[in-house]
Amino acid sequence: MSQLVTGEAVVLQVRLARMPTRSLATAIDVCLQLVTLGLLLAVLLIWLITGTNPALAAATIFFVVLLVMVGYPTLMETLTRGKTLGKMALGLRVVRDDGSSIRFRQAFVRSLMWLFVDFAPWFGCCPGIVASVMNKQGKRFGDMVAGTVVIRERQQPIPSPPLFVPGHLVAWAQSLELSRLSDDLANTSREFLARYTELEPVARETLGNALAFRVSEVTAPNPPTAISAPAFLSAVLAERRRRDLIRLESQRRFYAQPPSPFGQRSAYGPPQ
């Protein structure tokens, strides 16, 4: 296990991916890339035979190689927030050093460094392996430059702290406006509550107050009586979860009810 510290200074326990697992995921991706590249080059070879300008043909081949070797991991990791097909198969994910999802910039930097530094043939295809073995977080040069780390997602049970609303605050909780409470802030608050007992007293108070202040800025109204930061966060998250469960149950009942004898049921109007 290793630790990542979020932007709110909440410590996350994660299981880092090591060299053998990462190598197998890379091998899967490389095989897919080589198959795709082979098919595209076969088409280009037919084009070359027709007598196309050699300079244009060479430039086209270079562009295709770059597109497959750099474009594939960049596109996949951007769209899936840190996964390629190889990583999906082995339950791996690339995240930023603070545990948040990567964006296009990090994915693009990692892909460029993978091709031109970490596994570049002119460097003997070994800098990335050496860096990963020597780094305590298993980072290759691309991870160091992009500020990312690869984690084992399947082995990370997400802690679920007990959430509750004090009896005298139930009416207040049910009146809360929660539409501006983002998933990221809610997840960070939930992680803080799950790790509450593991933090030092000073850190608990500081982080709790900071998170409670951020949550209070996007929720309304304020509690009718003064409560501690952890109790406030717990009440907000408990009410948010209650509404989500009600919404899911309503959807389940809607799709479970038998079709109308007067026509097809529609969620946006009368039966068709």
What sign has the CA pseudo-torsion 35, 40, 42, 48?
negative
Distance CA 40, CA 61 (A): 9
264: in domain: no
In 3D, which of 155, 158, 191, 109 has the Cα closest to residue 17?
155
Whether residue 222 has pLDDT greater than 70: yes
**115 pLDDT more than 60:** yes
Pick the most confident of 7-16, 138-147, 153-162, 190-199: 138-147
Boundary residue ending a domain (104, 129, 152)? 152
Residue whose structure tokens are 């035979």: 49
Taking a C-beta distance cutoff of 8 angstroms, is the pair 173, 193 a contact? no
Q: Structural domain of residue 188, as residue ranges? A: 167-256
Average pLDDT over residues 11-16: 65
Cβ contacts of 161 within 8 Å, gap of 6 or more: 190, 193, 194, 196, 234
Residue with tokens 């970490």: 118
Is there a domain that residue 107 lies in?
yes
Q: Is residue 139 part of a domain?
A: yes
Count up the domains in the chain and report the number.
2
Torsional sign, CA 239, 169, 230, 195: negative
Greater pLDDT, 98 or 226 = 226
- The pair of three-digit structure tokens given for residue 15, joined into one six-digit string: 């299981």
Number of H helices, E strands in the chain: 11, 4
160 falls in which pLDDT band (50, 70, 90)? low
Residues 125 and 246 in one domain: no
* Position with higher pLDDT, 160 vs 153: 153
Taking residue 98's Cβ as centre, other Cβ atoms within 10 Å add up to 15
- Find the mean pLDDT for residues 146-159: 74
Task: Say whether pLDDT at 114 is over 70.
Answer: yes
Kindly state whether residue 96 falls inside one of the protein's structural domains.
yes
Domain boundary at 152, 176, 195, which? 152
Q: Are residues 96 and 40 in the same domain?
A: yes
Q: Are residues 183 and 247 in the same domain?
A: yes
Both 54 and 140 in a single domain? yes
70 and 131 in a single domain? The answer is yes
* Rounded (10°) CA dihedral 130, 133, 135, 137: 140
CB 186 within 8 A of CB 248: no
Which pair of tokens denotes residue 104? 């296009």
Candidate from 149-158, 175-184, 190-199 with smallest mean pLDDT: 149-158
Paired sense of beta strands 11-14 and 2-5, if any: antiparallel
Residue 268 confidence (pLDDT): 37
β-bridge partners, 148: 96
For residues 35 and 32, what is the distance between their CA atoms, to the nearest angstrom? 5
Give residue 13's pLDDT. Answer: 58
Beta bridge partners of 66: none
